[in-house]
Structures are given as C-alpha cells and as structure tokens.
C-alpha cells in the first residue's frame, strides 16, 4: 500500500483468502474447507451467508471486471475459490439443495442450486487469458451438473469437517450429515424470521433421498425435535442461542470428533450444555451420542441419557425424523403383520412398546429400525395448517420425563421399501449385517460383517472385543480416541481421530489383536497384539483431522490380544 484504488482493492481481496491460524477471535477460511465466523463462543459455519458472499459475490465480480488488466487477480485467488466450490460446497449440495445443518438463512432452499451455478460460471468467466486454474476440468463438469434441472450429482464420499464437528456421507441416491457441538463449535445462526436454531448443531442427523426434504416447513416445524437430537420437548420459547453474543451457544463438552477415510466414517460426542451461568442453560439433557455411516445404512447410538436440570418437566425425545408426510406410514416387527396409517391422516398419535425384537417403520423412501433397549417409540402425525396440503410426521424415541441412564439404538435405511425393512429387521435380530459391540459410557462400537469395518468411540482408555465372523480380536487405546478399522484383502486400513483435539498430547497408541506390519507398528508376539502409534498436528486447527495408515495383515498368526 498504497498502489492506487484498484490495486489496493485487489490486494485486500487476495490477501483475505488465507487459512485461519488460530481459534482466538478469528473469522475466515479454515483448513477443513469451512468459512467460519462468530468465534467468541465457538465457531459457526453458515454456508449460505457471511463467508459465501466474501468467497464469490465480492471477489468474482471484481476479478471479472479487472481481468486481462495489470490489476488482474493472481492464480491463487481463482484456485482458492475453485477448491472451496468443489471440495466444500459441492459436497454439501444434494440435488440443488444445501445441507440443512449448515445452511438455514434462506427460507426457500430451492434457490441454492442457481446461486451455486452462478458462482461456478462466474469464476470460469472471470479468468484472464494467462490464468492457470488447475481444476478447470472439474469445474466444467460441475457446471454441467448444475445446469441440469434435477441437479443429479453421483458423488460417493465421506467427508470430515473437523473444525465444526460435522461429517457428510454421500452416495449417488442419498445424502446424510451429522452435526455436533463442542467447546470449539456450535450450530447455525438464528433461524428464518428469527426462529431459533438452538438445537440444530446438537447431534442433528439429516438423511435425504428427496431434493426438497425439510424445505418450506419452518413455519410449523417443531424446533425442539431436530432429527438426530435428544432434547426435552419444552413448551416455552427457544432462546436465540446462535447469535454471536449468546454465551450458551456452544457445548461445554471438549470430546467431539469425526473419523473418515473418504468412503466411510463416523462421529461421536459427549452432549453437554452445562455452562457456569445457569441462565444460559436451556438444554436439560446430557448424554453420549454417535453416528456410524456404512454403504446403505446409518446407525445411531446413544447412552447415558439423563436429565440434568428441571426445565419444563416435559418428556425427553431422541428424534429419528421430522418431515413432511408424503406417503402411507407403515410399521411392524419381525414376523408380525404390517400395519398402515393412510396418507392424509392427521392428528394421530401412536406409541409403540418393545418386546425383544426390532421395530421397523417406513415413510417416503426412508426406513427406520429401532432396536430393543431404546425405550418407547412415539409417532405423531400433525394436521396441516390452513392452506397447506401436506401434514408433518414426527418419529421419536421417548425417554420419559426423568431418564437417568437411558440409551437408544436405531438404524436408518435410505430407499428401503417395507419388504426390505422386514427382511433387514429379521437379519438384525439374528446379529447381521452388523453387531453392536458396546453402547455404554466407556465405549460405543460396532462391527459391520459385510464391509469388514470396525468403528469405535473410546471415551476413556480401554478396549473392546471385536467379533469378526468366526474370529475375534481386541481393540484398545491408551487415551480417548475415535478408531476405524477397514479390512481390504490382506491389508488393514486404520484411521484415528483425537476427539479432544489436544495441542499438547499428540500421540495415540492403538492396540489390535492381530499380527500387523507397517509404519510405527510393533508386534508383541507374547500377547498377539500389534501396537500402532499415530501422531496428529499440534496446531489447533489441524488437531482434529483424521489420520490414516495402512498395515499388512499377517493372517498366519491371528490371535486374540489382551
């Protein structure tokens, strides 16, 4: 500075495209691909506002205006925008609609597809003749997808956004995301028309097969019953807790993290909002929650569900889903005759009690299977308001008014039909296709037999026995950790995350009762255990990034380790 008005403007724009280097009073571009703000009480990512305007609505028009002049933007600006559009916004967009958990300021989310198309097209048209854009082919392909009316994008991925405690799981025909909170992060900005999004980060689990799922429902939505969350169904008004000055917006839990190898993953956190100032503690529930993502099923586990303050004295629910009711509602248990509640029925409420078998439910391309030990299941069908044609449904597990150590276990199956759910529930009762190894205050773990994947959240140092077909082995950690094992032929892929994101203790030791060879691996012949050392970055913004390593399986010496 100074370099004249135009030169100074381009300098300001280009130097703004840098990664944040600290959480302290820092807004901006984060290494997981998010653009975060309001850091005073936990960072916040609102994908369709704030950083979005800075990313595309200021920089691209200016770059286009000054292209092929001596004030033209450098290659780095174009590349930063391209990477963000392809690696973040593409992942968060399903059939032209932005993920609910990170995009909530637009009342009509159908407008998101055109906004994204304009950004991609604008970036391509803003290049100078000598601009080098390394991912131009990918951008052109993405633009072609966005130009189609149905926005079909056959992505297959599992993507961790570790800075905001969020995981996105994609397959060509469905989208799923889990958004958690911690001392480091919180949910969305206040809602449309100042409706509160207080619970939108508290373990929200959105699963979508339809483009317009959850769209246009804000006026009659029960914001105490966000899919995936566990919350008291209070009758009083929600606080505008996502506003930047509100000191109760983030969690008081340091334990929160996501694990992913790019195809599969899971997230887990200790759910707490126990701030020293009771005046900001609207939530009345604590518990441990986890979300496990496989190929065609999503497993949600919870334990230690308990009331920690009086609140409103209402029931505490874990909500499986709340959306428009577009088809008949079908439900049954294995071997039982399926029952149907006709579409258009309103004002109906049903409660389902457990025996010792799973219960399954079907509604509009999504199947839900609730496993024994989860408490009473509650279904509510709300009448549509005047001028509206589609009723809402809410499906939830009711923990009652005063749970002290409750738990839940349920599966969501995208694109399942009633006959598929009946068959799947029967298989679950027989222990396949996956086994829940543990669901308690120390460990939440599952083994998927067909995929040969183990996913385990350790809330403290300890071990779990993994039953893999006819074999079994022990998996242990020396400190709290999230661990995923995926067997691929004669190799074992191991991915770990530090859920505390420590900048001091950056090494985790994973013990596996198998004979392995590979980097930082020591096999103890006496115990039949391989000790694997994993180290993560000491930089705060990278401390929660998953770390993956591949090991060779020496099957001739399969043993059960300690």
Q: Mind listing the pLDDT tens digit for each residue in 521-556? A: 999 999 999 999 999 999 999 999 999 999 999 976
Residue ranges of domains in the chain, CATH in brackets: 5-314 (2.70.98), 432-557 (2.60.220.10)
pLDDT at 407 > cutoff 50: yes
Q: Mind listing the pLDDT tens digit for each residue in 173-218? A: 999 999 999 999 999 876 666 667 889 999 999 999 998 898 878 7
pLDDT for 192: 63
pTM for this predicted structure = 0.94
Residue 215 has which token pair? 């769209």
Residue 267 has which token pair? 């997230």
Strand order in the sheet with 166-171: 157-161, 166-171, 174-179, 204-208
Q: Mind listing the pLDDT tens digit for each residue in 123-157? A: 999 999 999 999 999 999 999 999 998 999 999 99
Strand order in the sheet with 481-488: 434-439, 443-448, 453-458, 481-488, 491-497, 547-553, 516-517
Residues in the chain: 562
Strand order in the sheet with 329-332: 256-260, 265-271, 285-293, 298-307, 406-414, 366-370, 359-363, 329-332, 339-341
Could you tell me which residues come within 8 angstroms of residue 246 by beta carbon, excluding any fewer than 6 positions away? 41, 239, 240, 280
What SS3 state is found at 109?
Answer: helix
Q: Mind listing the pLDDT tens digit for each residue in 6-19? A: 777 777 777 766 66
pLDDT at 377 > cutoff 60: yes
- 315 closest CA partner among 218, 393, 235: 235
Q: What is the mean pLDDT of residues 115-122?
A: 97
Which has more confidence, 562 or 286?
286
Cα separation, 557 vs 514, in Å, equals 7
CA torsion 310→315→317→323, rounded to 10°? Answer: -120
pLDDT for 346: 64
Q: Mind listing the pLDDT tens digit for each residue in 46-103? A: 898 878 988 998 889 989 999 999 989 899 999 999 999 999 999 999 999 999 999 8
Residue 18, preceding peptide bond in cis (omega within 30° of 0): no
pLDDT for 173: 97
pLDDT for 344: 67
Among residues of the chain, what percentage have pLDDT more than 70? 91
pLDDT at 23 > cutoff 80: no
Report in angstroms the alpha-carbon separations of 449 from 254, 529, 561.
32, 22, 20
pLDDT for 559: 46
- Name the band, by pLDDT with cuts 50, 70 and 90, for residue 429: confident
Scored b (16 or more CB within 10 A) or e, 271-309 reads: bbbebeeeebbbbbbbbbbbbbbbeebbbbbbbbbbbee
Cα separation, 452 vs 485, in Å, equals 8
- Name the band, by pLDDT with cuts 50, 70 and 90, for residue 560: very low
pLDDT at 472 > cutoff 90: yes
507-512 vs 516-517, strand pairing mode:
unpaired
pLDDT for 316: 96
Burial class (CB in 10 A: 0-12, 13-18, 19+), 56: buried
pLDDT at 561 > cutoff 50: no
Cα separation, 218 vs 231, in Å, equals 18
């Amino acid at each position: 500075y100074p370099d004249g008005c135009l030169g100074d403007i381009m300098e300001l724009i280009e130097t703004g495209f840098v990664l944040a280097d600290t959480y302290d009073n820092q807004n901006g571009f984060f290494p997981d691909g998010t653009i975060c703000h309001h850091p005073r009480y936990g960072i916040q990512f609102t994908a369709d506002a704030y950083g979005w305007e800075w990313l595309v609505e200021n920089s691209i028009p200016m770059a286009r205006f000054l292209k092929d002049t001596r004030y033209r933007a450098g290659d780095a600006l174009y590349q930063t925008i391209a990477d963000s559009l392809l690696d973040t916004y593409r992942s968060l967009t399903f059939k032209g609609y932005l993920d609910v958990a990170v995009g909530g300021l637009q009342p009509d989310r159908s407008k998101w597809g055109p906004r994204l198309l304009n950004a991609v097209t604008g970036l391509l048209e803003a290049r100078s003749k000598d601009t080098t854009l390394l991912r131009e082919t990918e951008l052109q392909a993405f633009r072609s997808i966005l130009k189609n009316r149905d926005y079909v994008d056959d992505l297959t991925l599992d993507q961790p956004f570790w800075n905001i405690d969020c995981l996105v799981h994609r397959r060509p025909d469905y989208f799923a995301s889990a958004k958690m909170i911690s001392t480091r992060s919180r949910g969305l900005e206040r809602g449309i028309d100042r409706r509160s999004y207080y619970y939108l980060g508290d373990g929200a689990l959105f699963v979508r097969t339809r483009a317009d799922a959850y769209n246009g429902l804000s006026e009659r939505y029960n914001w105490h019953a966000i899919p995936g969350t566990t919350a008291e169904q209070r009758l009083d008004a929600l606080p505008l807790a996502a506003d930047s000055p509100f000191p109760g917006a983030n969690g008081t839990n340091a334990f929160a993290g996501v694990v992913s190898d790019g195809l599969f993953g899971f997230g887990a956190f200790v759910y707490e909002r126990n701030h020293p100032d009771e005046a900001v503690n609207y939530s009345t529930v604590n518990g441990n929650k986890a979300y496990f993502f496989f190929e065609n099923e999503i497993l949600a586990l919870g334990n230690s569900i308990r009331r920690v303050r009086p609140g409103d004295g209402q029931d505490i629910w874990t909500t499986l889903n709340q959306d428009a009711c577009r088809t008949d509602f079908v439900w049954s248990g294995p071997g039982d005759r399926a029952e149907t509640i006709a579409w258009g029925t309103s004002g109906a409420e049903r409660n389902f009690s457990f025996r010792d078998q799973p219960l399954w439910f079907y509604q509009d391309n999504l199947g839900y299977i609730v496993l024994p030990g989860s408490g009473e299941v509650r279904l509510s069908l709300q009448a549509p308001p005047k001028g509206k044609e589609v009723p809402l449904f809410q499906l939830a597990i009711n923990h009652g008014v005063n749970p002290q150590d409750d738990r839940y276990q349920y599966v969501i199956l995208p694109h399942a039909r009633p006959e598929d759910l009946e068959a799947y529930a029967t298989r679950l009762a027989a222990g396949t296709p996956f086994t829940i190894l543990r669901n308690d205050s120390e460990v939440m773990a599952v083994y998927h037999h067909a995929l040969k994947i183990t996913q385990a959240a350790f809330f403290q140092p300890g071990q779990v026995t993994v039953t893999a077909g006819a074999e079994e082995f022990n998996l242990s950690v020396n400190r709290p950790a999230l661990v995923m094992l995926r067997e691929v032929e004669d190799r074992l892929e191991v991915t770990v995350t530090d859920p505390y994101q420590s900048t001091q203790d950056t090494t985790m030791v994973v013990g596996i009762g198998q004979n392995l060879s590979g980097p930082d691996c020591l096999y103890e012949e006496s115990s039949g255990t391989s000790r694997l050392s994993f180290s993560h970055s000491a930089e705060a913004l990278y401390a929660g990034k998953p770390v993956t390593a591949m090991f060779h399986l020496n099957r001739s010496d399969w043993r059960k380790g300690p």
